Amino acid sequence: MVKVRYLFLLISILFLSSCGGDWLPLSLDENLGYQSSQQVEENGFFKIVDESEYPEAYQSLNKLKDKILASGQLKHQNDFHWELKIIEDDSVLNAFCLPGGYIYVFTGLIKYLPNESALAGVLGHEMAHADMRHGTQQMVKNMGIGLILQFIFGVDNSSLLNIGANLLSLSFSRSDEKEADLKSVNYLYATDYDARGVATFFEKLKKENKDPELIEFISTHPNPDNRIEEILKEWKRLGAKKGEKFTKEYQTLKNNLP
């Protein structure tokens, strides 16, 4: 009888796996994100900026993050962690958000962007990956049914650490990247920010003739032109409202970084 029950469960999981990732428990996102965040913060590869030493920088970034969350556009606004950390590395133009809402921003990206709405656009893009559960779905796709079964029947800490390490090396599909771009526009459109913020990053890269293949943020979709076009199209579809860029306030944020 027990074997029949497990067989039924396995068949049910296989069927649900073909239907997308919405059926997965949200606690899976939180567990995956937490384990990956431990990898980020404890392996010594990244230098996390101490909030107690740079409170003004964290205050500015958390205000920006909270404004995006308050837009009312995120499906899992109240379900995930949404904690933000700064990584000190001026050579990296990147940010990422792990499942469960663990957000990391490199100082290089902050210093490279020209205004607050541009950073909000990039953060909106990364938060969209978590909100749409792209990372969790990719993990299930890559690791297969074993990941789900481990989660349901129990998994030891060493396995969780391996899963967390694998998550950090994931890259998103082009459809995931496009969805995150458009979600960023929608998030910002419901705030006082210029909703075209994420396009500012691509426009700056294009203007400076930087090789997209060298930029981690866009390595899975190396054509900024297409992304700018789609972002502007979505902004116009929403009504083409012009928001604020907060350039002066952004300079203050830059001055408060290490």
Please say if 126 is a catalytic residue.
yes
Residue 25 has pLDDT above 50, yes or no: yes
The whole-number average pLDDT for the span 32-50 is: 87
Please tell me the total count of domains within the chain.
Answer: 1
Could you give the count of Cα atoms lying within 13 Å of 3 in the half-sphere of its Cβ? 0
Is 131 among the domain residues?
yes
Q: Catalytic pick from 51, 53, 88, 126?
A: 126
When pLDDT is cut at 50, 70 and 90, the band that residue 43 belongs to is confident
Q: Which amino acid, one-letter code, is at 258?
A: P
* Residue 8 within a domain: no
pLDDT value at 256 more than 60: yes
The pLDDT of residue 34? 87
Residue pLDDT, tens place only, 228-239: 999 999 999 999
Q: Provide the residue range defining the domain that includes 215.
A: 14-255
210 within some domain: yes
Looking at residue 17, its pLDDT comes to: 41
**How confident is the model over 83-101, as a mean pLDDT?**
94
pTM: 0.84
Would you say residue 98 lies in a domain? Answer: yes
Q: Is residue 1 part of a domain?
A: no
User: Residue 102, by phi and psi: left (phi above 0), alpha (psi -120 to 50) or beta?
Assistant: beta
Does residue 3 lie in a domain region? no
For residue 90 the two structure tokens come to 């001026």
Q: Give 181-199 pLDDT, tens digit per residue.
A: 999 999 999 999 999 999 9
Nearest 10 degrees: Cα torsion 225, 223, 37, 29: 80
- Reply yes or no on whether the pLDDT at 243 is more than 70: yes
Is 9 domain-assigned?
no
Domain presence at residue 6: no
